Amino acid sequence: MAIIRTNVLICAGSACVSSRAYDFKTALLEALEEAGIKEEVNVVDTGCIGTCDLGPVAIVYPDGIFYVHLKPEDAKVIVNEHLLKGRVVNRLLYQQPMTKEVFPSLSEIDFIVRQKRIVLRNMGVIDPESIEEYIAKEGYQALAKALTMSPEDVIDTVKKSGLRGRGGAGFPTGLKWELTRKATGNPKYVICNGDEGDPGAFMDRSVLEGDPHSIIEGMMIAGYAVGASKGFFYVRAEYPLAIKRIENALEQARSYGLIGENILGTDFSFDIELRRGSGAFVCGEETALIASIEGGRGEPRPRPPYPANRGLWDSPTVINNVETLANISPIILNGAEWFSSTGTEKSKGTKVFALAGKVNNTGLIEVPFGTTLGEIIFDVGGGIPGGKKFKAAQTGGPSGGCIPAEYLDLPIDYESLKQIGAIVGSGGLIIMDEDTCMVDVARFFLEFTQSESCGKCPPCRVGTRKMLDILERIVNGEGEEGDIERLIELGEEIRRDSLCGLGQTAPNPVLSTIRFFRDEYEAHIREKRCPAKSCRALIAYQVIPDKCRGCGICARVCPVGAAQGKPREIYHIDTGLCIKCGDCFAKCPFGAIEKADLVLEKV
Amino acid sequence: MKSLEDLKRIREQAQAQIKLRTQEANTKIIVGMGTCGIAAGARETLMAILDELSKRNIQDVVVTQTGCVGLCEYEPLVNVVKPGQPKITYMKVTPERARQIVASHIVNDQIINEWVLSTEEGA
């Protein structure tokens, strides 16, 4: 009989897969075969560990050694050194970006130590394609427990836990369930909103890929609580791996009789179907999502009536976000008090953030509410790369706002962010350093919402277009006095008059950057200057004569022949020809090319 | 699956599959697997230990490897670390000795003194 002595867990989240994790896995299996120890080592796929910029990553158990940046050719080394001889391969270990300290074990690295993982509890621990491994980690125990409680008690537990919707708005989940339970009408439905659309947010995708059974279990408990016997996953078609893993999980649960008629010998029956969205941002809005499942155009309708009373096919429907549902099982198993002991007064539990942008450790993190932005960026995130200065963080993606440096010590929760004009949102967290132009950031997010506006209501359809026109003029150096005031006025009207959350929040990035970085807008408009030297129309590349050594690299990389000169002499850049691609700036080995304010054309 | 008992049974079976990942084991057996160890037969020793543990259905023991510690002539070397006890290093552990170490030291807490090379406090 073969005895498994080692487990190698390979992260099989989308990020690691796209950086060729499966090529590494193939190479590893070959190397194990060659060394003749294939029977002793179990190679398992697991969910996103969160350290996405270190991928592909793998963990070797029982010692818990964490390997990063794996290439197929590393497989043989790991097999021959570590798995055969017990010598850890030092060069493949994680190195802290600031201190250069090396950490062999996943459980020791700062990125993990500072987190509290409830939603991400099984990521990096179990194989998402194995229902048995999910069951081994207390899976479906919460469902079994819930079925021994009355639906009212289940709702009461969720209410007492203080769990609020993680999709963005933060509506109390237990209350939503109660409203749906009390609503008249049959049948009732449960929908899992997996239409994650914020640029930079990927926590729902990761959880669906990495722990699909936890969402299924959450949906079933919701179904039991509200009196529904049918559930729908709504997942965007751009998440093929998530869809594959959900379908696989549903099939397994069905074959075990965990989905179907008379679950675990009780009267409770529940089935789940999966529906694919075609990636329209507006379909994350609940009424548009319902229209899309019904087969109509993904367009929102006015609320009330809320879905709790009139939802899918006009029946009472509870819609919960992926991350919300992932919290349900631990709450039922461990109790409301256990959950509410984490977090702040009004925001309980943890929040998963997709940490992106100018930060050393990008990836997926889960921290308790009340953690400060500074702790997230500098302790979990490992600081800003290249010794640059932190400027602001964008929360809530295109519906959110920015948090400037003076709020680094602000404990993050639903209320505190709202007070400063930002939102928790779905949990995208984009870190920006001093090289980021805040006007351009606002323009980027508005461009996104503008193109995603469904066009049903004029404030959103026309209003965001008008705002975008103004912003485009400003970043192109054509801003006028009064533009800022026009933006604020338009923004407030769109916020007030739009039909759904998309329009109601679309102006947020603009209004919030005006609030905290008005001086940058003014510099663009009055001085035709971009303080961050990021807006192309407002900068010129030029050679610093003292630093130029005449190597000629700039002339070689320049695609339009704007960098000119003779070897060993000082080069110059012809601003008339220059298309401002920035290649010379990036490639100059002596840092002799700088971005300067474009002065001449102003006169 | 039709009842809570079914779920419990599946859970117990499945927990064995992932037990290596939970790192809650109390006792550690470390086999010297440098080139010297392997040449002296450490692989067979390792397999014998795993086989014996599995036969006896011992769950809370982790078996790992280590490299050469410089005592090549005493290989295969096997360390046994039990919580709160000194680290015991056994020398020239053949598969037969390995099975007896599992039976005597791991199960019955009896150190087999005649094979002990060293005892290290506080390891």
> Is there a contact between A135 and B2 if contact means CB atoms under 8 Å apart?
no
DSSP string of A367-413? EETT-BHHIIIIIIS---GGGPPEEEEEESGGGSEEEEGGGTTPBPS
From the list A411, A342, A379, A410, the residue with the least C-alpha distance to A114 is: A379
Collect all residues of chain A within an 8 Å Cβ-Cβ radius of residue B50. 3, 5, 40
Residue range B45-54: mean pLDDT, rounded: 90
Collect all residues of chain B within an 8 Å Cβ-Cβ radius of residue A133. 14, 17-18
Total tally of structural domains belonging to chain B: 1
Note whether B69 and B107 are within 8 A (CB).
no
Strand partners, A317: A189
Whether A24 and chain B come into contact, CB under 8 Å, resolves to no
Separation between Cα atoms, residue A602 and residue B18, nearest integer Å = 68
Placement of tokens 């690691």 in the chain: A16
> Is there a contact between B14 and A135 if contact means CB atoms under 8 Å apart?
yes
Q: Is residue B57 domain-resident?
A: yes
Sequence-ordered alpha helix ranges (H) in A65-171? 74-77, 85, 110-113, 131-136, 141-148, 151-161
Q: Taking CA atoms, what residue in A is nearest to B3?
A: A264
Q: Is residue B30 domain-resident?
A: yes
DSSP string of A316-371? -EEEEEHHHHHHHHHHHHH-HHHHHTSB-SSSBSEEEEEEEES-SS-EEEEEETT-
Separation between Cα atoms, residue A230 and residue A191, nearest integer Å = 9
Rounded to 5 degrees, φ, ψ at A103 are -120, 120
Rounded to 5 degrees, φ, ψ at A355 are -85, 120
Token pair of A137 as six digits: 């980690």
DSSP string of A264-291? GGSS--BEEEEEEE---GGGGSHHHHHH
The four Cα atoms A18, A48, B59, A118 give a dihedral, to 10 degrees, of 180
From the list A453, A344, A444, the residue with the least C-alpha distance to A402 is: A444
Collect all residues of chain B within an 8 Å Cβ-Cβ radius of residue A10. none
- Interface pTM (ipTM) of the complex? 0.81
State the smallest CA–CA distance between residue B84 and chain A in angstroms: 20
Task: Report which secondary-structure segment, H or E, holds A442.
Answer: helix A438-452
Separation between Cα atoms, residue B121 and residue A317, nearest integer Å = 64
Cα dihedral A224, A225, A231, A233 sign: negative
Separation between Cα atoms, residue A316 and residue A181, nearest integer Å = 8
Token pair of A587 as six digits: 């490639």
Whether A9 and chain B come into contact, CB under 8 Å, resolves to yes
Task: Report which secondary-structure segment, H or E, holds A315.
Answer: none
Q: Taking CA atoms, what residue in B is nearest to A131?
A: B14
Given this model, what pLDDT does residue A44 score? 93
> Is there a contact between B11 and A135 if contact means CB atoms under 8 Å apart?
yes
Classify A157 as helix, strand or coil: helix
CA B73, chain centre distance (Å)? 21
Q: What is the pLDDT of residues A478-535, one digit of tens each?
A: 999 999 999 999 999 999 999 999 999 999 999 999 999 999 999 999 999 999 999 9
Given this model, what pLDDT does residue B26 score? 73
Collect all residues with Cβ–Cβ distance below 8 Å to A537 and sequence separation of at least 6: A475, A476, A477, A598
Whether A125 and chain B come into contact, CB under 8 Å, resolves to yes
Q: Is residue B6 domain-resident?
A: no
Separation between Cα atoms, residue A189 and residue A273, nearest integer Å = 11
**Of the partner residues B3, B10, B47, the one whose CB lies closest to the CB of residue A132:** B10
Given this model, what pLDDT does residue A240 score? 93
State the smallest CA–CA distance between residue A178 and chain B in angstroms: 27
Q: Is residue B77 domain-resident?
A: yes
Collect all residues of chain A within an 8 Å Cβ-Cβ radius of residue B65. 84-86
Q: Is residue B58 domain-resident?
A: yes
Collect all residues of chain B within an 8 Å Cβ-Cβ radius of residue A42. 20
pLDDT of B35 above 90: no
Spell out which chain B residues touch chain A, with contact meaning CB-CB distance below 8 angstroms: 1-4, 7, 10-11, 13-15, 17-18, 20-21, 23, 25, 30-35, 37-38, 46-47, 50-51, 53-54, 62-67
> Is there a contact between B23 and A61 if contact means CB atoms under 8 Å apart?
yes
> Is there a contact between B35 and A85 if contact means CB atoms under 8 Å apart?
yes
Task: Report which secondary-structure segment, H or E, holds A515.
Answer: helix A508-526
What CATH number did the domain enclosing B56 receive? 3.40.30.10
Distance in angstroms between the alpha carbons of the first and the last residue of chain B = 46
> Is there a contact between B65 and A126 if contact means CB atoms under 8 Å apart?
no
Q: Taking CA atoms, what residue in A is nearest to B66?
A: A86
Domain holding B30, by residue range, is 22-120
Separation between Cα atoms, residue A125 and residue A120, nearest integer Å = 10
DSSP string of chain B? --SHHHHHHHHHHHHHHHGGGT---SEEEEEE-SHHHHHTTHHHHHHHHHHHHHHTT--SEEEEEE---S-GGGPSPEEEE-TTSPEEEE-S--HHHHHHHIIIIIIT----GGGEEEEETT-
Q: Are strands B27-32 and A65-67 parallel, antiparallel or unpaired?
A: unpaired
Collect all residues of chain B within an 8 Å Cβ-Cβ radius of residue A267. none
Over its C-alpha atoms, chain B yields an Rg (Å, rounded) of: 16
Given this model, what pLDDT does residue A602 score? 44
State the smallest CA–CA distance between residue B59 and chain A in angstroms: 12
C-alpha distances out from residue A133 to A46, A317, A323, A449, B4, Å: 11, 31, 20, 40, 17
pLDDT < 50 stretches in chain A:
1, 601-603
Q: Is residue B98 domain-resident?
A: yes
Collect all residues with Cβ–Cβ distance below 8 Å to A349 and sequence separation of at least 6: A118, A161, A162, A163, A327, A339, A340, A342, A343, A368, A369
Q: Taking CA atoms, what residue in A is nearest to B51?
A: A3
Whether A5 and chain B come into contact, CB under 8 Å, resolves to yes
> Is there a contact between B7 and A135 if contact means CB atoms under 8 Å apart?
yes
> Is there a contact between A257 and B50 if contact means CB atoms under 8 Å apart?
no
Note whether B119 and B87 are within 8 A (CB).
yes
Given this model, what pLDDT does residue B24 score? 62
Q: Is the peptide bond before B95 cis (omega within 30 degrees of 0)?
A: no
Q: Is residue B10 domain-resident?
A: no
**Of the partner residues B7, B33, B47, the one whose CB lies closest to the CB of residue A84:** B33
Given this model, what pLDDT does residue A199 score? 85
Q: Is residue B16 domain-resident?
A: no
Rounded to 5 degrees, φ, ψ at A291 are -60, -40
Note whether B112 and B67 are within 8 A (CB).
no
